Amino acid sequence: MEYINLNVWSKNRELCNSIYRITRNYPKYEIYGLVIQMRRAAVSVLSNIAEGCGRNTKKDSIQFFHIARGSLYELETQCYISSDQQYIDFNDMPRLLDHIAECKKLLNGFINYFENSKN
């Protein structure tokens, strides 16, 4: 399976790039706090989707997709914290949360597809 052609991967890649753009404007003292945590979570989603696609068994693949989903929820929480600290512009937050919701929906559908597949 060529993961780079999957909609679930490409939408999460867009989200990852958005997180990198947004966190560029965070205060310098957050570099080793929220910035690195958010970037790692966003990269983790993509990496675990890719790794899951590269696994030999359905069970292994699904495990990595669940890890990706967990990272997506982690990222969502970090966005809320960032908003609370006023690091994310109030007007950007709804768009960011919509993007995360879309990614969660795609990932859940992808997990369901894998769980229901015969292989």
Who contacts 57 (Cβ-Cβ below 8 Å, separation ≥6)? none
Asked if pLDDT for residue 1 goes beyond 80, the answer is no
For the stretch 19-28, pLDDT in tens is: 999 999 999 9
Mean pLDDT over the full length of the chain:
95
> Are the CB atoms for 71 and 90 separated by under 8 Å?
no
pLDDT at 56: 87
The CA dihedral of 36, 78, 43, 49, to the nearest 10 degrees, is 160
pLDDT, tens digit, for every residue of 32-59?
Answer: 999 999 999 999 999 999 999 999 899 9
Distance CA 33, CA 21 (A): 16
Give the pLDDT mean for 1-5.
Answer: 86
Q: Which domains, and CATH codes, for the chain?
A: 3-116 (1.20.1440.60)
Distance CA 82, CA 31 (A): 13
